[in-house]
Structure 1
Amino acid sequence: MNEETLTINKTSWEEAAALFFGRNPLPEYGPLAPCEDELNLLGEVEGAAVLDIGCGSGHSLLYMAERGVKELWGLDLSKNQIHAAEKLLEDCKAPVHLFESPMEANPGLPEGYFDIVYSIFAIGWTTDLSKTVENVFRYLKSGGHFIFSWEHPLYSRVRLKEGTLMMEQAYHEEGPYDHEAWKLPAMMQQAKVSTYINTLIDQGFIIERIIEEVRLTEKDRERHSNRWYSYEKAKMVPTTLIIKCRKP
């Protein structure tokens, strides 16, 4: 766990939290990507105990509450995000447990307890992917599922210029990087698709689905015009990597 990077990222998120209130939560998995309504990765969640890694403003947890889960748990690096989630979820019938914590550490979460752990466009903020995945494996009960999404590793490595994709960073390069689309001082982690897969396997997970498809409707074109996740670029390279795996 890189304490210096976590401090930088926490400071950045405290400032940016309000800008991400309700941004792309479940049933969305990412910009221009298929949604849960289509994928049905979560399955039947009524009566389940769920944990949101990087819960942000709590809107994905609210989605889960509306589907009848038994317990809502979440953690996030940002105090401001946790406060926003607490307010959003204060009227939920299901018990809510939120922790201000990096995903690389266990802030007091029960082990062998959760039916579903998920992370929507957050896992790339970890400073230690192996430790984060190890934690998730411990949190889940046997047969429980881990479902996560993140920016596809190819997307930030290529640039669309006049209708042509140009490689700007070697795909083989991994590690911390300053994401061009993030305007505040912050470091995300770049990893190959194989790194995500092998890390999950090394920790004991069984991979069930890998999704790289995009969804390009007219509504998507309007929402993402002239933004980092552009419609034109998404026609050529996926924006989002989604993986579903299971603890034996």
Structure 2
Amino acid sequence: MEVNEILQMNKESWEKSAERFFGRAALPEYGPLAPREDQLNLLGNISNKTVLDIGCGSGHSLKYMAINGARELWGLDLSTKQIETATSLLHDQPVPVSLFESAMEEDPGLPENYFDIVYSVYAIGWTWDLKQTFSNISCYLKKDGIFIFSWEHPIHDRLSYKDSEYIFQKSYVKEGPELNEAWNNTAVTYQRKFSTYINTLIETGFSVEKIIDDVVLPESITDDPAKWYSAQKAQLVPATFIVKAKKR
């Protein structure tokens, strides 16, 4: 599949599914069955900071940033519907808001050496060019600026529930684009090893400060073990990983 075909396929899939994700996978949450920002305090003091959300979705993470004192809110997202929703959600914020409909691999005209914090909650794995995306983010950030992102742990969808047990049905070490099973094969994401994310950060000018793949389980585990993000599965492998890095 060509890159433009992948982007178009993913955009069409998101336009159809966007409403299902409004308000989900947004700060202070970093992802399924993972610690929250109010437990981790990765962002630190947000007051008077200029922030950029990569894959801003419906704008709820940006609203969280505004509530906590951010000076400027910037975001980009591939989906027209998501940008429209974020625009509506943030229209009454007392700080400047700038939103761009764009793939994260492309620079829609964002300022360089400008942002104190760039973050991405459950979106980075959609990029078809991780190095270009991380290079862009490095350019956007001030020196010593913070980049925090979360994504589905790359071992999570390698494990499937079948005949009352979990089994490995896909290779963890084989990297590349795949039709996404969780999206009923209507979208393409990339399988990358965990080391690929970390090494690419280092190659693009970041120092890794913290890696989190802790699991937070509910008090009572009663959900369907075949569910995509089930607590039973999370007892074996983490659903989410979180990385905090600093621009060198």
Same fold (TM over 0.5): yes
Q: CA deviation at 1:2?
A: 1.6
State which drifts further: 105-114 or 210-219.
Answer: 210-219
1:12 and 1:184 in contact (8 A); partners too: no
CA distance in 2, matches of 1:5, 1:24: 23
Q: CA deviation at 1:204?
A: 1.2
CA spacing shift, 1:35–1:222, aligned 2, 3 Å:
farther
> What is the DSSP-based 3-state SS (H/G/I as helix, E as strand, rest coil) of the residue aligned with 2:177?
strand
Asked whether 1:98 is paired with 2:83, we answer no
Deviations, residues 59-115 of structure 1 (Å, cap 9, x unaligned): 000000000000000000001000000000011111100000000001010010000
2:117 and 2:145 in contact (8 A); partners too: yes
> What is the DSSP-based 3-state SS (H/G/I as helix, E as strand, rest coil) of the residue aligned with 1:12?
helix
Q: Which residue of 2 aligns with 1:82?
A: 83
Aligned residues, how many?
Answer: 247
Asked whether 1:48 is paired with 2:49, we answer yes
Superposed CA RMSD: 1.6
CA distance in 2, matches of 1:185, 1:161: 23
2:179 and 2:185 in contact (8 A); partners too: no
Relative to the length of structure 1, the TM-score reads: 0.95
Residues 194-233 of structure 1 correspond to what in structure 2 (within 5 A)? 194-218=195-219, 221=221, 227-233=227-233
CA distance in 1, matches of 2:216, 2:173: 27
Residues 31-180 of structure 1 correspond to what in structure 2 (within 5 A)? 31-161=32-162, 164-180=165-181
Q: Which residue of 1 aligns with 2:239?
A: 239
The amino acid that maps onto 2:96 is: P
CA distance in 2, matches of 1:177, 1:116: 31
CA distance in 2, matches of 1:79, 1:210: 32
Q: Which residue of 2 aligns with 1:190?
A: 191
CA distance in 2, matches of 1:111, 1:162: 52
State which drifts further: 221-230 or 169-178.
Answer: 221-230
CA distance in 2, matches of 1:198, 1:66: 34
Q: CA deviation at 1:178?
A: 1.2
CA spacing shift, 1:108–1:224, aligned 2, 3 Å:
farther
Q: CA deviation at 1:183?
A: 2.8
CA distance in 1, matches of 2:223, 2:162: 21
Q: Which residue of 1 aligns with 2:5?
A: 4
> What is the DSSP-based 3-state SS (H/G/I as helix, E as strand, rest coil) of the residue aligned with 1:91?
coil
State which drifts further: 56-65 or 181-190.
Answer: 181-190
Percent of residue pairs bearing the same amino acid type = 56
Deviations, residues 23-71 of structure 1 (Å, cap 9, x unaligned): 1210000000000011111000100000000000000000000000000
CA spacing shift, 1:224–1:243, aligned 2, 3 Å:
farther
The amino acid that maps onto 1:232 is: Q
Unaligned runs of 5+ residues in structure 2 are: none
CA spacing shift, 1:56–1:223, aligned 2, 3 Å:
farther
